[in-house]
Structure 1
Amino acid sequence: MNITVLMSEVYPLPAVRGGAVETLVNHWLDSHEDAPDRVNLAVVSRYSYEAKNRSRVYTNTVFHWVVPLPFGRFWVRFRRKVFPNAPVYPLYLNFAMRKICRTAPDLIIIENRPEFVLAVRLRFPKTRIVLHLHNDTLNEENKLGTQIVHALDQILCVSAFIQKRVLTIVGVTPEKLAVLPNVVNLNQFSFQTRLLSERPILAFLGRLSLFKGVTVLAKTFLRLKESLPQLHLWFAGSSGYRGSREDQTIRSLKKSLSQYSDSVKFFGFVPQNSLVGLLRQASVLVVPSLWDEPAGLTVLEGMALGIPTVASRRGGIPEYLSEKEGWLYDSDSEAQAIDELEKVLTFVLTHFENALKKADLARTTVEQKFSAQDYWSRLLGVLEIG
């Protein structure tokens, strides 16, 4: 069987520039290398020099590259202006579908781009098409939702939360949907015995944006600093998907924390190979999202490392982190989130031995349920491919 994975136009695969979607699909490539199946795997990805070099280590996967064009965004804007009622697809998709034709696919997996589905179905009317959905972008609010779902043979969701959101579309049947949970590489995120240092560190990993709750964490830190003067706060991440530019959110964040500049660090985007070393220095990983997170990849990484993990009870996070393995708090508003997070962090930092016991259970949970080792076989199982 020929399976072709169509990546988005944002990041390349292999995941040399990060990206949660790319990191997860990279686990497919890794586990497929030693898989005893008869699947011919092909990937259509945005080109990058680093990704092409990294791809040479994969002998069981064929890569097809789409070189980004500098005028691609202008073309999309022009089409939207001239033909406002017509669907407009990025040039990336047009070139990507030409690459897909070369793979003679029996199955096409579209990664997290519902807006690609109708064009791909039109081009490949008889091919089985599956959408691997990572974000809450296919629901009753999507004007083309019904058409997109009907054009698909199956939808793989990263959480039951995302699955429920897709089911809000009129006419969707549960039989077309399945949950394929996120995973983490346990060899990379290996467990390590921990102790609370003299300068406890709160760590945040992800996009530095308001909906990720960075201001909640900053304001909570300022409160905690009064009773815990040795407390430190680290931010690992940038403001957007394409680099480490500093926007108004980051500037405001730095200004609000300027009185404790010696205790606060902004690392910007951290490559995957440097991330583990940074996280291992943290005392607590905080995921303070104010929006409904589709799933908990960052949560899983903290759990795998044995770091006490605190997260808001939003979206799909509770499907990965329970009260047995970490701490969840309510965040219906920013004020509530700050109050609840302060209580939880105060308890964790003052009862750190108990926190480490929960962290041990969290690592065990990841080993049992969320290991990347058999991610490829799980995918084939959900797709019912023997």
Structure 2
Amino acid sequence: MIIALIATEKLPVPAIRGGAIQIYLEAVSKLLAKHHQVTVISIEDKDLEQSETVDGVHFVRMNKENYVTGIKKLISSKKFDVIHVCNRPLWIETLKESSPSSRFILSIHNEMFALGKMTDKEGEKCVSLVSKIVTVSDYIGQTITSRFPSAKGKVQTVYSGVDLTAYHPKWTAKGKQLRESIRSQLQLSNKKIVLFVGRLSKVKGPHILLHSLPEIIAQHPDAHLVLIGSKWFGENNVNNYVKHLYTLGAIYQDNITFIKFVEPKDIPKLYSMADVFVCCSQWQEPLARVHYEAMAAGLPILTSDRGGNPEVINEGKNGHVIHQFDEPTAYAKAINSLLSSEGTRDRLGKNGRTHVEGQFGWSSVASNLKTVYENAART
């Protein structure tokens, strides 16, 4: 098959500036290219060629201001069997006009079918034109079918994934070495490390963790919170919310470390230093990819019950779901419990690694997408 994978207009592929969709496309395209002819379309970037072929994948990068126009020109000039559009349902109608014989797959990574983002007419039109709508979680699928029942036969959850070879649990030789090295570099060798990875934004909830620190420190004076991230992908500019976090953090400077934006390729090794991973999302998260990363690194997970986050947690086996998602005390209680028992942390971490190996490696994601594409091409 001849396949086009179309990224949003936000960030380039490969994911040199970060981005869950960009990481997703970079990973699956390499695997799909082993069996099919694959083109990945994204916006241009000063550090990337406008056109190149890497690992069998042809990358085409276009001007952001004329992105959709450029895509239309490309897909009308080349016959693609399948065109996979990421997270932009309102592009489907105009792209279909440019390549009417192609089968369109739409992947939805956020609540893109919500009121305010499209009219009923636009949503129905999109549903009628696509062969399949793949979603990153059951939760996102339900946001579509609850508003557009006509989509029920087309919506299918295809969970995202992670590069299993890039993450090294502490019980492996590589993981032990990384753990000791990074802790030494950060002067955290004798600390119990609680890790947060994500954008420093209110919806991600890092302020909740900061407010939970006094209760954690009271029971575990050697606890240390490490927050990795910035206000936006690839940027270290500070806004008022980030300033607020830094101000709160200054009160507990012996128990907190901020690490600004880290390139995606350097993220995996940082997980190796941690003892507990926390996702404290306050919004209806589609399903944050940090869950896959934490499991791959062999970390026990505490996550909020928002959106699709709980779907990858087997309660009490690879982590715990925090139902009082906006209560610092709820996080403090769960974190303290885990910090008090290394045996429990190890058990949950090993179960998580087994879980991600069985279901969420990129090879599983690519295989699932390949089946979707092949079925669409046959219809």
Scaled by the length of structure 1, the TM-score of the pair is 0.87
The aligned counterpart of 1:154 is 132
Q: Which runs of 5+ in 2 are unaligned?
A: 180-187
User: Structure 2: how far apart are the matches of 1:151 and 1:348?
Assistant: 49
CA spacing shift, 1:213–1:312, aligned 2, 3 Å: same
CA contact under 8 A between 1:178 and 1:382: conserved in structure 2?
no
Q: Secondary structure at the match of 1:50?
A: coil
Q: Which amino acid aligns with 2:291?
A: V
Distance 1:197 1:54, change over 3 A: farther
Q: 1:64 aligns with which of 52, 60, 64?
A: 60
Q: State the partner residue of 2:68.
A: 93
Render the CA deviation track for 1:86-139: whole Å, top value 9, x for unaligned.
xxxxx2211222122333212111011123222212333332111111111213
What's the counterpart of residue 46 of structure 1? 43
**1:166 correspondence with 2:158:** no
CA displacement, residues 68-90 of structure 1 (integer Å, 9 cap, x when unaligned): 4xxx4xxxxxxxxxxxxxxxxxx
Structure 1 SS opposite 2:331: helix
Listed one character per residue, the Cα deviations across residues 147-171 of structure 1 (whole Å, up to 9, x for unaligned) are 3222322101111111111102234
Give the match for residue 88 of structure 1: none
| 1:4-15 paired onto structure 2 within 5 Å | 4-15=4-15
Which residue among 101, 105, 109 is the counterpart of 1:130? 105
Indicate if the aligned counterparts of 1:186 and 1:304 stay in contact, CA closer than 8 A.
yes
Q: Secondary structure at the match of 1:257?
A: helix
Cα pair distance change 1:376/1:178, threshold 3 Å:
same
Residue 49 of structure 1: CA displacement? 4.2
Q: Which residue of 2 aligns with 1:83?
A: none
Q: Do the aligned partners of residues 272 and 134 (structure 1) sit closer, same or farther apart at CA in structure 2, a change above 3 Å counting? A: same
Q: 1: CA distance between counterparts of 2:157 and 2:53?
A: 31
Once the two structures are superposed, residues 34-60 of structure 1 have per-residue CA deviations (whole angstroms, 9 ceiling, x without a partner) of x3x3x21111111124343995432x2
- Counterpart in the other structure of 1:356: 346
* In 1: Cα distance, 2:52 partner to 2:278 partner: 33
- Classify the secondary structure of the residue corresponding to 2:150: coil
Select the residue among 175, 184, 204 that pairs with 2:196: 204
**Structure 2 Cα separation of the partners of residues 269 and 16 of structure 1:** 12
User: Take 1:102 and 1:354, find their aligned partners in 2: how far apart are those partners?
Assistant: 57
- Per the alignment, in what secondary structure is the counterpart of residue 85 of structure 2? strand
The AA in structure 2 aligned to 1:50 is D
Q: 1:259 aligns with which of 251, 266, 270?
A: 251
User: C-alpha separation between the residues in 2 aligned to 1:204 and 1:53?
Assistant: 35
Aligned equivalents of 2:101 and 2:30: distance in 1?
29
- 1:11–1:46: 8 Å Cα contact kept in structure 2? yes
Q: Which runs of 5+ in 1 are unaligned?
A: 73-90
Distance, in Å, in 2 between the alignment partners of 1:242 and 1:129 is 31
Distance 1:362 1:55 in 2: 37
Asked whether the 8 Å contact 1:303–1:363 carries over to 2, the reply is yes
Give the Cα separation in 2 of the matches to 1:187 and 1:216.
32
Q: 1:181 aligns with which of 134, 159, 175?
A: 159
Whether the 8 Å contact between 2:236 and 2:260 is mirrored in structure 1 is yes
Q: Is the Cα contact below 8 Å between 1:146 and 1:171 reproduced in 2?
A: no
Asked if residue 379 in structure 1 is aligned to residue 374 in structure 2, the reply is no
> Cα offset for 1:261?
2.1
State the partner residue of 2:299.
307
Aligned to 2:26: 26
Q: Alpha-carbon deviation of 1:210? A: 0.8
Indicate the residue corresponding to 2:93 in structure 1.
Answer: 118
Q: Which moved more, 1:46-55 or 1:359-368?
A: 46-55
Task: Give the alignment partner of residue 106 of structure 1, picking from 81, 96, 105.
Answer: 81
Of 261, 285, 294 in structure 1, the residue corresponding to residue 286 of structure 2 is: 294
TM-aligned CA distance change 1:242 to 1:100, over 3 Å? farther
Alignment root-mean-square deviation, CA:
2.2
In the alignment, the residues of structure 1 paired with residue 276 and residue 352 of structure 2 have an alpha-carbon distance, to the nearest angstrom, of: 13
Residue 324 (structure 2) pairs with residue 340 (structure 1): no
What is residue 87 of structure 1 aligned with on the other side? none
State the one-letter code of the partner of 1:146.
E
Q: Please state how far the C-alpha of 1:140 moved relative to its aligned partner.
A: 4.9
> Aligned partners of 2:222, 2:128: CA distance in 1, in Å?
56
1:237 maps to 229
Taking a change above 3 Å as real, the CA distance of residues 251 and 111 of structure 1, as seen in their structure-2 partners, is same
Q: Please say if residues 168 and 272 of structure 2, whose CA atoms lie closer than 8 Å, have aligned partners that are also in contact.
A: no
CA distance in 2, matches of 1:114, 1:364: 35
Is the CA contact (8 Å cut-off) linking 1:211 and 1:291 kept in structure 2? Answer: yes
2:346 aligned with 1:368, yes or no? no
Secondary structure at the aligned position of 2:165 is classed as coil
Once residues 299 and 214 of structure 2 are traced to their aligned partners in structure 1, the CA distance between those partners, rounded to angstroms, is: 22
Offset of residue 290 of structure 1: 0.9
Q: Secondary structure at the match of 1:17?
A: coil
Sequence identity percentage: 25
The CA deviation at 1:317 is 1.3
